Chains A and B, each alone.
Chain A
């Protein structure tokens, strides 16, 4: 008969596998929009899940059944901040938009709206970090205010205001160009 500790470990590994399968795209999308290229996004995603794996048991215990996506995004957020600090740089180029946009939009979209979408992406890049992150979480990951608040370590009210201001500022930038 297997030891209880072995059973727990097996259960934990199984649950972690489910977690990363469910949220791999979220973490990758966040990383991509945060760092601006696929190579660093891949690195950041891998590091995020390795770190998450190390602290998974505690996170599960302390989450009291709440979703773990904000926790994962918070790890990615901290690692991305470290990455910039270490390299003392922002993304070197605007988002490498040919990949995701070409892959996820129809031909008609590409003809009619590509310029506009590209202008929006450039404007997103000009936002202050916290506003840019809030918009990525809301629109790329579809997170609600509460999840974003948990990921950013803010209150629900402050997050709602942040998203509203970010959207308004972004619209002003786009309309001014």
Chain B
């Protein structure tokens, strides 16, 4: 048998197989159910999650870390500006300006 003839026989032997008529419908229903279940689960998790104190750790940690980073930034900027001025004016002036810088920087970050 030539290669071409054999391939043609092979094509006939391995003809595509039609799935059962209702498989598409069943599959669609399963997928729809899964999507709805996933959405419901997510919604109920979001609501119940904040009632459970064990889930508060993350938001609290985020606030603490964010706050600490903000404070660090304020002090760093204020110290840098104060150091720049110290070389130009007296010690008292520098201290007063540094204090003002701390407050204005804190106000700016709070906004």
Query: Using a CB–CB distance below 8 Å, which chain A residues touch chain B?
Result: 13, 16-17, 20-21, 24-26, 28-29, 32-33, 38, 41-42, 45-46, 49-50, 53, 99-101, 103-105, 109, 113, 116-117, 120-121, 124, 135-136, 139-141, 167, 170-171, 174-175
Given the complex, which residues of A lie within 8 Å of B35, measured CB to CB? 13
Which one of B12, B24, B26 lies within 8 Å of A21 (CB-CB)?
A: B24
User: What are 17 A-B contacts defined by CB distance under 8 Å?
Assistant: A17-B28, A24-B19, A24-B24, A25-B18, A25-B19, A28-B17, A46-B26, A49-B31, A99-B17, A100-B17, A103-B17, A105-B12, A109-B12, A120-B14, A139-B7, A170-B6, A171-B1
The answer to whether A104 touches B16, judged by C-beta atoms less than 8 angstroms apart, is yes
Give which listed residue, A50, A104, A124, A175, contacts B15 with CB less than 8 A: A104
CA distance A105 to B30 in the complex (A): 33
Question: B3 at interface (Cβ–Cβ under 8 A)?
Answer: yes
> Judging by beta carbons under 8 Å apart, are A175 and B17 in contact?
no
Contacting A167 at CB < 8 Å: which of B3, B15, B17? B3
A53 and B16 form a contact (CB under 8 A): no
**Residue B95 at the A interface, CB < 8 A?**
no
Residue among A20, A28, A124, A136 with max Cβ neighbours from chain B (10 Å): A28
Q: Which residues of A contact B23 (CB under 8 A)?
A: 24, 28, 42, 45-46
Establish whether residues B27 and A105, one from each chain, have CB atoms under 8 Å apart when the complex forms: no
State A135–B6 Cα separation when bound (angstroms).
13
Partner of B13, one of A41, A46, A124: A124
B18 touches A140 (CB 8 A): no
In the complex, are the beta carbons of A139 and B14 less than 8 A apart? yes
A139: nearest chain-B partner, CB-CB = B14
- From 57 to 85 in chain B, residues with beta carbon under 8 angstroms from any chain A beta carbon are none
A148 vs B34: C-alpha distance when bound (angstroms): 31
Most chain A CB neighbours (cut-off 10 Å) among B3, B20, B31: B31
In the assembled complex, the Cα of A53 lies from the Cα of B1 at a distance in Å of 44
Known: A20-B24, A42-B19, A175-B1. A121 touches B31 (CB 8 A): no
Of all chain A residues, the one with the shortest Cβ separation from B7 is A167
| Docked-complex contact A105 and B14, CB < 8 angstroms | no
Indicate the member of A45, A99, A141 with the most B CB atoms within 10 Å. A45
CB contacts (< 8 Å) of A174 on chain B: these are 6
Q: Are B9 and A140 within 8 A (Cβ)?
A: no
Whether, in the assembled complex, B10 has its beta carbon less than 8 Å from a beta carbon of chain A, the answer is yes
Q: In this assembly, does B11 line the interface, its C-beta being within 8 Å of a C-beta of chain A?
A: yes
What 6 pairs across the A-B complex have the smallest Cβ distances? A28-B19, A120-B13, A139-B14, A140-B14, A104-B15, A117-B13
CB distance from B4 to the nearest CB of A (A): 11
Q: Which residues of B lie under 8 Å from residue A140 when comparing CB positions?
A: 14-17
